[in-house]
Amino acid sequence: MRASITFFRALTLILPLVRRGSASGQSTPTPIPCVVHPANAVEQKEIFNVFVDEFYVKRNIPGAFHHIAADYIQHNPFELDGITSSFNFLDPIFSNTSVKVQILHRVFEAPYGWLHYRVDDLLGELEPTAILDLFRFNGTCVQEHWDVIQERPVNATNPHALF
């Protein structure tokens, strides 16, 4: 199991993480998607942790997208299925280290991984944003995503902080 994770990490280092968009000579990097291989629950949890570390801690969005399947099913209404739409939307936001990310809770129960986190300075929001991301794994790859996003309203009924 360790060996296979080491293999995935090595693969991530060996493979170029991005290829340049060839259409119209634009330089927007598009990530190389994950290829589904069988993985057990323990391996999926390790891959989930690597994915979370790349995306939310190291803020290496092309590297994180290397764990997402090409036919990714996306439920966020602002993005389309597949990796390109989500990558083009998320890379500028999450690669920007002025946008602060603080992970609060994470759970993995195969094939689902949950992440609850706080984002400060997201797209000019005055209040910090609470986000819950839910990912479904298919073998070694993230295959499907749902999210719930909330800021504390101005006249909140409940005095508790969101976090």
Question: One symbol per residue from 115 to 134: x for binding ligand NAG (CB under 6 A), - otherwise; what is it?
Answer: ------x-------------
For residue 38, give the amino acid letter: P
What's the number of CA atoms in the CB half-sphere (13 Å) around residue 125? 19
User: CA 48, CA 120: separation in Å to the nearest integer?
Assistant: 23
| Token pair belonging to 61 | 């969005």
Q: Choose the binding region for ligand NAG from 2-10, 12-20, 75-83, 92-100 (rule: CB under 6 A).
A: 92-100
From the number of C-beta atoms within 10 Å of its C-beta (0-12, 13-18, 19+), residue 153 rates as exposed
The Cα–Cα gap between 44 and 37 comes to 11
Least CB distance from residue 60 to ligand NAG, whole Å?
A: 16
Binding mask 5-44 for ligand NAG (x = CB under 6 A): -------------------------------x--------
Is residue 155 part of the contact set for ligand NAG (CB under 6 A)?
yes
| CB-nearer residue toward ligand NAG: 6 or 37 | 37
Site residues for ligand NAG per CB under 6 A:
36, 92, 96, 98-99, 121, 138, 143, 154-155
